[in-house]
Amino acid sequence: MSRATAEKLETEQARVELRSGDVAFLDETEEGWKVSAAGRRPQPGEERPYDCELES
């Protein structure tokens, strides 16, 4: 299990950077925080800044 090294909150969304280098995105819902995308890694020079393995 990875531990978070940084987090950033933007209104109802959050980005969590893990020590592994992966990034997870969360959305705040009426039921609480839900993972909206995970397994993302930065893609330098790409039009889309993250490549995602899981999206909801």
Please provide residue 11's backbone torsions phi and psi, each rounded to the nearest 5 degrees: 45, -110
Side-chain half-sphere CA neighbours of 31 within 13 A: 3
Domain total of the chain? 1
Pick the residue with more confidence: 15 or 51?
A: 15
Residue 34 has what pLDDT?
Answer: 92
pLDDT at 3: 77
Name the residue with tokens 């993302």. Answer: 40
Number of C-beta neighbours around residue 37 at 10 A: 17
Residue 49 structure tokens: 């800044």
The answer to whether residue 9 scores a pLDDT higher than 70 is: no
Nearest-angstrom CA–CA distance, 27 and 16: 11
**The domain containing residue 19 runs over which residues?**
4-55
Token pair 């969590």: residue: 16
- Give the pLDDT band of residue 10 (cuts 50, 70, 90): low
Give the tens place of pLDDT for each residue, 12-47: 888 888 888 788 889 988 898 899 988 767 677 766
